[in-house]
Structure 1
Amino acid sequence: MNIRPSAKGLVTIGLVVLGVIATIGSLLVYVRQEALMKEQALLARSLALQASELRDVDPYTSLKLGVAAVHINADAASRKALLESLLVLRREDLFSMDPRGASSVALSQDGHVALIKDADEIGVWDLSGMLDENPEGEAEERAELEGDYENVDFLALSSDGRTALIGQDNGTAALWDLTNLAQPTRSETINAGAAREADRGIEALALSRDGRTACVGDLDGNFAIWDLSVRTKPIRRSHVRLPAGRIRSISLDADARLAAILAGDRDVTVWDLSRPDNPIQLSRLELPFNTAEPISITADGREILVGSSQRADVWSLADPAKPIHTATLDMPNQDLYGIALSDSEKIALFAGDGGSVPVWDLSTPSRPTNTSSLKNYSREVSYIAVSADGEVALTASPDRGVTMWDLRDLPEMLEDPVGVACNAPDSLKITREEWTRYAGDADWTRYGGGLLGKDTLAACSIDWALSLA
């Protein structure tokens, strides 16, 4: 007996078939989209890696590939690689320095005056020419400081660049007046020992922003505070002997009212210097590691950073008598040699081995962010300095000598690296030959290749081309 399906049954069957077809179609679209996303992620990663490799030898091509990578897949790794390519273009090597001898640097608050130790000499440098609007401007060494500086790398500079404190081989520190950069005047010497004539071997020194207070530490744990209000007649305000022995680092806040001292292997103490005649130890940090170096206190005195192997830790000094550990920064460096902190935005830069300078944003101390790195050192960065506004940095390296970094547009780069890169007049064009070399057999038409009838691809327009695909 033949049973003919009812009209309602046919409609139901039809809807089921259509549903199956729609589901299959959706799955096919989903699979295709997933395949495209995977292809784009792999391509972006490859372009970002090649951009990193080209950063030093061909920075312009590195920038093009970095922009392309972010447009294709804007993940954290691609953005960071592009940032580092942008930063390399803001680097200027001071080629007049002897790369084998460059060892220590200090910088004024505005970044215009620098002290640079080169082999056994210390130069006074005017960096204004590289920071003005003149594209032909250059850094200029204005003078050399005479003295016995061959084996000492301790330099300090006041905010206005007019007062310098230099460690010497004879265990003292020389005080210099740099009011006239071309004709610096040596004023007096100070030391860390209990007696004026003590010769203990200076291991650390710090100078207040206004150049009126100096702190000096030596090999035997002597710590002295000096009043430099009259450069020609420095006055020792106090002296203490730290039981941990050798003082390895001293860091002051902006007002020189708070000091952090690293003595021995890991003894980090916080001191109240509001009464220079009677410094008071407020606290000692309970460090989670056996060896500490370096240390740096923020300008407002509310945080202190302590470095160790492959890490740096942030401590809150909201109550200096009760430091609280708030964060750990993971570092690629096996050894850290120095920490430089700006005032604004609290940008932190770390000198060490491994060929890079990690850049961290500490504006939220409990959640620090590794934003980028200053790259292209083959071995290490020995010393680092940054201006108070975070706009200028100096790095000293055995393989590059001294390098100046113009970081004035770093906030814009952090917010929108593609926007900063694509602000260039030539819109970063990638030729067909370049695409084949760096992107392989990836279909360049999908990313805008030849879209305007030319044998080029505009890296800055890849996002627009993908939106049309």
Structure 2
Amino acid sequence: MNVRPSVKAFVIIGLVMLGIIAAIGSLLVYAQQEAFTNERTLLARSLALQASELRDVDPYTSLKLSVAAVHINADAASRKVLLESLLVLRREDLFSLNPRGARSVALSQDGHVALIEDADEIGVWDLSGMLDPNIEGEVEKRAKLEGDYGDVDVLALSSDGRTALVSQDNGTAVLWDLNNLAQPTRLGAINAGAASDADRRIEALALSRDGRTACVGDLDGNFSIWDLSVKTKPIRRSHVRLLGGRISSISLDADARLAAILTKERDVAIWDLGRHDNPIQLSRLDLPFKTAGPISISADGREILVGSSHRADLWSLADPAKPVHAATLDMPNKDLYDIALSDSGKISLFAGDGGSVPLWDLSSQTRPTNISSLKNYSQEVSYIAVSANGEVALTASPDRGATMWDLRDLPEMLEDPIGVACDAPDRLKITREEWTRYAGGADWTRYGGGLLGEDTLAACSIDWALS
């Protein structure tokens, strides 16, 4: 007997077939979307990598590629590359320095005056031309400090940039009046030990913000405090012989009431300098490593950073008599040579071996954040200085000389790097030739190529094309 399927069965079969077709269609769409997502991830990674490689030789192409990478896939790696590309455009190399590089730097608190030592001399530099909106000019070396400096690389500068203290090979440190940058005036001289000891090499100097107090340390462990109220006749207020021996570094808070002293690169002690005639050791840091490198105490005296191999450690000095370890900062550098802190403590910079200067935000004492790096050193950075507000940094490198970094719009870059980069979007157009070279076989029309009737792709509009 023949059984004819009912209309209801046909309907059911049809609905099942439609469901299958719809499911297959959804799977195909999902597969296509997944493939495009993977393409975008890989493309963004490739563009960011090439942006890093081009940063020094072609900074604007680097910026275009890093903007494109963030628009295509805004992950942390792409964003960091964009920040580094933006920072390189805020760099000013001081090319007139000795080609063998700079050895040491010091910076006034407003970032307008600098001392820079190279293999031949110590120069007095005026950076106002790059920073003051009322002055149109460039950075300029105004004078050099005469003296027997040799291999000494210990410099200090007062907050206003008007008093300099520079060590010499004969075991003394010379005071200079820089009120007229073009004509520095040599004032008095001091040494680390007793007044008659002028043959001990000075290893560490620190100058108070007002230029009225100096702290000096030498190879034999002599630590002295000097009153510079009358700079032509410095007066030694106290002298202590530290059992730890060689004094490698001295760091002062803003009021020169608290000092951190590093001896023999392994012992960090905190001293109360409230009475300059009777300094008192308050405590020692219980370091979690065998050797310490640079140290830097914050302006308010409530924190101290201590560097070592591949790390820096942040300590709380809320009670200077009882330092408390707060956090460890992981560093790419095997060796750290110098640390610079802004007055707010939000900006910290680390000089060392390798090709980068890590830039950290210490706003949270327990959760410091590595926000970016100053790049493009082929060897190392020896010394670093930063202005009180964190808006100007100065680095010394044996392979690049001295470099000034304009960080005035760093907060905006951290908040919205794309917004800062795309402030002038016309310069961030990628030609078809560039796209083929850097993006390979990726279809540029999918990313907005040629949409404006031109043979270009606007890096700042890729997000609009992808939406």
Deviation, 1:325, is: 1.3
The one-letter code sitting in structure 2 at the alignment partner of 1:150 is G
Q: Determine helix, strand or coil for the equivalent of 1:276.
A: coil
Change (3 A) 1:29 1:165: same
The one-letter code sitting in structure 2 at the alignment partner of 1:89 is L
Residues of 2 paired with 1:433 and 1:370: CA distance? 36
Question: What are the within-5 Å matches in structure 2 for residues 231-310 of structure 1?
Answer: 231-310=231-310
The one-letter code sitting in structure 1 at the alignment partner of 2:104 is S
Match of 2:176 in 1: 176
Q: Determine helix, strand or coil for the equivalent of 2:332.
A: coil
The one-letter code sitting in structure 2 at the alignment partner of 1:86 is L
Residues of 2 paired with 1:54 and 1:2: CA distance? 78
Residues of 1 paired with 2:342 and 2:371: CA distance? 15
Deviation, 1:147, is: 0.9
Is 1:386 aligned with 2:389? no
Q: Determine helix, strand or coil for the equivalent of 1:426.
A: helix
Is 1:30 aligned with 2:35? no
Change (3 A) 1:456 1:101: closer
Question: What are the within-5 Å matches in structure 2 for residues 183-198 of structure 1?
Answer: 183-198=183-198
Residue deviations 1:289-322 (CA, integer Å, cap 9, x gap): 1111011111111111111111111111111111
Structure 2 residues not aligned, in runs of 5+: none
* Aligned residues of 1:177 and 1:187 also touching (Cα < 8 A): yes
* Aligned residues of 2:170 and 2:198 also touching (Cα < 8 A): no
What is the percent sequence identity of the aligned residues?
A: 84
Residues of 1 paired with 2:4 and 2:280: CA distance? 101
Deviation, 1:180, is: 1.4
Change (3 A) 1:2 1:271: farther
The one-letter code sitting in structure 2 at the alignment partner of 1:256 is A
Residues of 2 paired with 1:360 and 1:419: CA distance? 22
Which piece of structure 1 moves more, 22-31 or 327-336? 22-31
Q: Determine helix, strand or coil for the equivalent of 2:396.
A: strand
Question: What are the within-5 Å matches in structure 2 for residues 53-202 of structure 1?
Answer: 53-133=53-133, 137-202=137-202
Number of residue equivalences: 467
Q: Determine helix, strand or coil for the equivalent of 2:226.
A: strand
Deviation, 1:407, is: 0.9
* Aligned residues of 2:228 and 2:234 also touching (Cα < 8 A): yes
The one-letter code sitting in structure 2 at the alignment partner of 1:289 is F
Question: What are the within-5 Å matches in structure 2 for residues 432-443 of structure 1?
Answer: 432-443=432-443
The one-letter code sitting in structure 2 at the alignment partner of 1:303 is E
* Aligned residues of 2:353 and 2:380 also touching (Cα < 8 A): yes
Residues of 2 paired with 1:290 and 1:343: CA distance? 29
Deviation, 1:27, is: 3.0
* Aligned residues of 1:99 and 1:401 also touching (Cα < 8 A): yes
Deviation, 1:250, is: 0.6
Residues of 2 paired with 1:135 and 1:69: CA distance? 37
* Aligned residues of 2:200 and 2:218 also touching (Cα < 8 A): yes
Residue deviations 1:174-224 (CA, integer Å, cap 9, x gap): 111111112211111111213443432111010111111111111011111
Deviation, 1:132, is: 2.8
Q: Determine helix, strand or coil for the equivalent of 2:307.
A: strand
Change (3 A) 1:316 1:8: farther
Match of 1:354 in 2: 354
Residues of 2 paired with 1:7 and 1:240: CA distance? 106
* Aligned residues of 2:101 and 2:396 also touching (Cα < 8 A): no
What TM-score comes out, normalization by structure 1 length? Answer: 0.95
Question: What are the within-5 Å matches in structure 2 for residues 302-381 of structure 1?
Answer: 302-344=302-344, 346-381=346-381
Deviation, 1:13, is: 6.0
Change (3 A) 1:392 1:315: same
Change (3 A) 1:33 1:135: farther
Deviation, 1:366, is: 1.2
* Aligned residues of 1:120 and 1:151 also touching (Cα < 8 A): no
* Aligned residues of 1:123 and 1:144 also touching (Cα < 8 A): yes
What TM-score comes out, normalization by structure 2 length? Answer: 0.96
The one-letter code sitting in structure 2 at the alignment partner of 1:377 is Y
Structure 1 residues not aligned, in runs of 5+: none
Residue deviations 1:92-115 (CA, integer Å, cap 9, x gap): 111111121421110001111001
Residues of 2 paired with 1:8 and 1:285: CA distance? 85
Residues of 1 paired with 2:42 and 2:115: CA distance? 46
Change (3 A) 1:151 1:20: same
Q: Determine helix, strand or coil for the equivalent of 2:426.
A: coil
Change (3 A) 1:310 1:13: same
The one-letter code sitting in structure 1 at the alignment partner of 2:333 is N
* Aligned residues of 1:99 and 1:397 also touching (Cα < 8 A): no
* Aligned residues of 1:48 and 1:81 also touching (Cα < 8 A): yes
The one-letter code sitting in structure 2 at the alignment partner of 1:57 is V
Match of 2:203 in 1: 203
Q: Determine helix, strand or coil for the equivalent of 1:47.
A: helix
* Aligned residues of 1:193 and 1:199 also touching (Cα < 8 A): no
The one-letter code sitting in structure 1 at the alignment partner of 2:385 is A
Q: Determine helix, strand or coil for the equivalent of 2:334.
A: coil
Match of 2:51 in 1: 51
Q: Determine helix, strand or coil for the equivalent of 1:281.
A: strand
The one-letter code sitting in structure 1 at the alignment partner of 2:384 is I
Residues of 1 paired with 2:28 and 2:366: CA distance? 45
Q: Determine helix, strand or coil for the equivalent of 2:144.
A: strand
